[in-house]
């Protein structure tokens, strides 16, 4: 299973929670509403001009997306991936899906 079969675009934000098009939680935001909206627009294919200098990276545990070493997004969906009421995937497959999703986010935001 691929990350985009689980976390389906377009994404939307409500408060600090970012949802996919299937009304499933996929991310938490540590940013203000305006910054979160810009990030979500970019992930949905709507480009924005960012004049700041910096880069997006992953934390060591690959669960938090950083911008200039500041935490901005938390990868969610573990219960959905591994739970009996969810997809009931083996941990190794769930980890790969979350890691691939995080790497896609980093690549998209840095381009």
Question: Per residue in 93-105, pLDDT tens?
Answer: 999 999 999 999 9
Q: Does residue 52 carry a pLDDT above 70? A: no
pLDDT band for position 51 (50/70/90)? low
Task: Please report, for the chain, how many H helices and E strands are present, in that order.
Answer: 4, 6
Query: What is the mean predicted confidence (pLDDT) over 64-81?
Result: 93
Domain of residue 46: give its range: 3-110
| 3-class DSSP state of 46 | coil
| 3-class DSSP state of 6 | helix
Q: State the Cα angle at 17 between 88 and 54, rounded to 5°.
A: 105
Phi, psi of 70 (to 5 degrees): -105, 135
Question: What tokens appear for 71 in the block?
Answer: 């935490």
Tell me the pTM: 0.90
């Amino acid at each position: 299973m691929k990350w985009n079969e689980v976390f389906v675009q377009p994404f939307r934000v409500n408060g600090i929670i970012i949802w996919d098009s299937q009304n499933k939680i996929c991310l938490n935001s540590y940013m203000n509403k305006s910054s979160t909206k810009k990030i979500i627009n970019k992930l949905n294919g709507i480009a924005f001009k960012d004049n700041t200098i910096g880069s997006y990276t992953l934390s060591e545990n690959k669960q938090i997306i950083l911008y200039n070493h500041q935490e901005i997004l938390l990868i969610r969906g573990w219960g959905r991936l591994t739970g009996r009421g969810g997809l009931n995937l083996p941990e190794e497959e769930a980890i790969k899906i979350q890691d691939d999703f995080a790497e896609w986010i980093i690549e998209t935001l840095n381009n």
